[in-house]
Amino acid sequence: MKVELLLLLKRIVLDIALGKKPQKDILKYVTRVFIHTMTRELENILVAKYPDLLKGIRQNPRTPLFFGVECEDGWYDLINNALFAIQQQYDQLEESEKEDTCIIQIKEKFGGLRLYMSQTTDAMDDIIRTAESTAYKTCEVCGATDNIATADTRYIRTLCQVHMSKHKEFYLQVPNK
């Protein structure tokens, strides 16, 4: 697998160096392997539900939200529930506060969920902390909450036993408490 990925990366770099656009299927594969982004379908559902919070997603390459939701589909429900609760708090803000309040980035980092906002209230902070702590007990790939462990070698991820076993060569299992 490593050799295959290196060849794909080499091909992408050569295409870019020659002024060509890399093939979409190769970029999509490499992105899913290395960056672990949420599928566009689920991301689009979140954007449709919470347009005020996710304004600017995938629009400005100088912002972190340009890369979309940077975690896998297993945390969709967790993120959706958090955004629903944050939206309720957002709706209670004064109009002048709403203009500057939005999600800056949603990503996986060190096996946990990170949700960053431009500004928050105490209630929004509590919602974010709850979602972030719940992510450590939820498989990032499928959303399972049983037999979760943190995979830790070169890249830390929170996975169920099924997804942990699919990538044994990459991860050392550390059970979550």
Summarised one tens digit per residue, pLDDT across range 113-155 is 999 999 999 999 999 999 999 999 999 999 999 988 876 656 7
Pair (86, 155) in one structural domain = yes
Pair (12, 88) in one structural domain = no
The pLDDT score that the predictor gives to residue 177 is: 55
Pair (27, 52) in one structural domain = no
* Parent domain of 67: 36-175
CB atoms inside a 10 Å sphere around CB 34: 11
Pair (82, 136) in one structural domain = yes
Nearest to 68 by CA among 41, 37, 45: 37
Q: For residue 104, what pLDDT band results from cuts at 50, 70 and 90?
A: very high
Model's pTM, two decimal places? 0.77
Handedness of CA 136, 139, 141, 144 (dihedral sign): negative
The pLDDT score that the predictor gives to residue 15 is: 73
More confident residue, 87 or 33: 87
Which range is least confidently modeled, 6-15, 103-112, 167-176?
Answer: 167-176
Pair (46, 17) in one structural domain = no
State the average pLDDT for the chain. 83
Pair (85, 28) in one structural domain = no
Q: C-alpha distances in angstroms, 60 versus 68, 73, 80?
A: 11, 23, 23
Question: How many domains, the chain?
Answer: 2
Pair (79, 24) in one structural domain = no
Q: For residue 56, what pLDDT band results from cuts at 50, 70 and 90?
A: confident
The pLDDT score that the predictor gives to residue 35 is: 57
The pLDDT score that the predictor gives to residue 154 is: 62
Pair (41, 103) in one structural domain = yes
Q: How many whole angstroms separate alpha carbon 98 and alpha carbon 118? A: 11
pLDDT digits (tens, 9 = 90+) for 17-46: 777 776 665 555 555 555 568 988 999 999
Give strand ranges (E) for 13-167: 103-109, 112-117, 148-151, 157-160
Nearest to 70 by CA among 167, 135, 17: 135
Pair (40, 116) in one structural domain = yes
Pair (14, 48) in one structural domain = no
Pair (138, 89) in one structural domain = yes
The pLDDT score that the predictor gives to residue 16 is: 72
Pair (28, 1) in one structural domain = yes
Q: How many whole angstroms separate alpha carbon 144 and alpha carbon 139? A: 5
